[in-house]
Amino acid sequence: MTRRVQLWRNPLSASLRLRLFMLIILPLVAVAMMAGALRFWQAQTMSQALYDDALKVVAHVVAREVIITQGDVVSDALLDSLVGVLGDPIFYNVSAADGRFLAGFTDIPANIVPDDLRGGEPHFFDFIYADKPVRAVALREFISDPFFDGWTTVLVWQTTTQRRALSMVILQQALSILLAVVVTAAAAVWFGIARGLRPLTDLRAAVSLRSPSELGPIRRVVPTEVRPLVGTMNSLFARLQAEMQRRNAFIANAAHQIRNPVAAIKAQAEAAISTKDPDQRDVRLQDLHTAASELSRLSQQLLSLESADHSGLGDTALIDFTWLVADMARKFAPAALDQAIEINLDAPEQPLNVQGNEILLREAVENLLDNALRYGAANGGELTLRLECEQQHVKLFVKDEGPGIPVLASEQVFERFIRLPQADGKEQARSGCGLGLAIVRTIAASHGGSAHVAPETTGCTIVLTLPLAAGSLQNSTQV
């Protein structure tokens, strides 16, 4: 039983439009919330200031009414009028300088009025009355009347229901305005983002028109912020187009090169099947084996070329290039002896270390030796391998005594599927597919080196140059 696990995906990462919208709206909502909190504090402060002023006026009215009535209670008509204006019930207490109760309500907490209350200055404070929060003001006035006996304290308090109601009304109005502003801004931002991202939509349409057969550059007018992206995409399209052309040419050339060996194998096989003579059959089978070997060599070189082109260096290591060349020379010694060719190796005793892929470097040296044995030293003679150090590089010289390579063709021989004709215009007699030197140059380039034909009066010399590994010259001497 297979368990399917669906990873959570952040919706903001899926849509650039939604991401921009949230990045703009969320700070705006945060600012609106802070503005609402500030407005609520302002509403509370404003309502408290308004009601405190009204409460102070009520205290003066109560004081005058008590003076006029000589300590009698405030009339119900006056209280009803004051309550109608302020909205909350009003309570009062009037006491003489000696603490004697004169008028009002007596069920107030003890010592609620501070002793250091200054005359003529209102003192506002909060307390609990009848299990309800109230707001109170205390006034101390000097009354020159025998009944009041000097400083008289007037305490007036009121429940805070209307104060809170006024604060909430102000807050609701402010929040309504802020909500309308946020909603309008959100709609405007969404519309603006949609308009602003239209060039990206056009760019998407332009990219969708591209195909493996059409990888031309995008020439649409785009905003400044998108131009680096378009430039990178055009560069990618150019590289892809060049790679597609190279691949198509490689496939066409490979198909052309493989067609002849395959046709030869088929012809030799048919001839071997149709012949009745055992000797002729053996000859045909030998020709069939030779053709199959050439096809195998061609397929191996095609794979080597693609590997050098695209696989990179892969696993690299510190390689003694002197030992590698000597080992490859020993490998080719039997084939050279069969052709009456003598292989000479001139190399320093100290190791010449390079950093690279040993398999690819062996392939490069193998192709140099195979190319020299096929074309440069086909009729006997000497094949000289020489290793030298020069300016932090190691150079491998592969010199043969063959017909050589014309100066005008010294670069052409490194192209794929190129085989030079003989002096009489005929193609080289020995088999080959024209990939050996192309593989050598590709591998050299992947290691930061190069390959070229050195000018010679007789014979041919191919030079493979590779950078030495750091510190390798400390233990070697220049030849």
Name the domain count of the chain: 3
Does one domain contain both 78 and 163? yes
User: For position 104, which CATH number holds?
Assistant: 3.30.450
Q: Confirm whether 78 is domain-assigned.
A: yes
Which domain-ending residue is among 275, 310, 345? 310
Does one domain contain both 372 and 319? yes
Q: Confirm whether 288 is domain-assigned.
A: yes
CA neighbor of 439 nearest in space, from 250, 293, 277? 250
pLDDT at 396: 95
475 contact partners, CB below 8 Å, separation of at least 6 = 350, 351
pLDDT band at 311 (very low <50, low <70, confident <90, very high): low
Q: Confirm whether 217 is domain-assigned.
A: no
pLDDT at 42: 79
- Can you give the residue range of the structural domain that contains 256? 224-310
Does the pLDDT at position 479 exceed 50?
no
pLDDT at 471: 67
Q: Are 368 and 386 in contact (CB under 8 A)?
A: no
DSSP string, 114-161: -TTPPTT--EEEEEEETTEEEEEEEEEEEE--TTT-EEEEEEEEEESH
Task: Please name the helix (run of DSSP H) or strand (run of DSSP E) that holds residue 41, with its range, or none.
Answer: helix 16-68
pLDDT at 12: 53
Which domain-ending residue is among 266, 295, 310? 310
Question: 5 or 323, which is more confident?
Answer: 323
Arithmetic mean of pLDDT over the chain:
78
| Maximum separation of any 2 CA atoms in the chain, in Å | 161
Q: Confirm whether 404 is domain-assigned.
A: yes
Does one domain contain both 304 and 324? no
Q: How far apart are CA 245 and CA 439, in angstroms?
A: 19
User: For position 345, which CATH number holds?
Assistant: 3.30.565.10
Range scoring the smallest mean pLDDT among 50-54, 55-59, 74-78, 436-440: 74-78
Does one domain contain both 154 and 49? yes
Does one domain contain both 293 and 416? no
For residue 27, the SS3 value is helix
- Summarize pLDDT for 379-401 with one digit per residue, the tens: 678 899 999 998 899 999 999 88
Which domain-ending residue is among 143, 168, 193? 168
**Can you tell me the mean pLDDT for 217-221?**
81
Q: Confirm whether 280 is domain-assigned.
A: yes
Range scoring the smallest mean pLDDT among 87-91, 186-190, 213-217, 442-446: 87-91
Does one domain contain both 412 and 448? yes
- Look at the chain and count its residues: 479
291 contact partners, CB below 8 Å, separation of at least 6 = 261, 264, 265, 268
pLDDT band at 478 (very low <50, low <70, confident <90, very high): very low
- Evaluate if pTM is beyond 0.95: no
Does one domain contain both 385 and 431? yes
Does one domain contain both 334 and 297? no
Q: Which of 59-73, 80-94, 423-437 has the highest mean pLDDT?
A: 80-94
CA angle 72, 76, 78 (to 5 degrees): 90
Range scoring the smallest mean pLDDT among 60-64, 65-69, 81-85, 308-312: 308-312
**Can you tell me the mean pLDDT for 52-81?**
68
User: For position 281, which CATH number holds?
Assistant: 1.10.287.130
Does one domain contain both 26 and 152? yes
Does one domain contain both 341 and 451? yes
Structure tokens at 323: 């030992």
Does one domain contain both 413 and 299? no
117 contact partners, CB below 8 Å, separation of at least 6 = 123, 138, 140, 153
Range scoring the smallest mean pLDDT among 75-84, 186-195, 402-411: 75-84
Q: Confirm whether 183 is domain-assigned.
A: no
Does one domain contain both 367 and 432? yes
Q: Confirm whether 205 is domain-assigned.
A: no
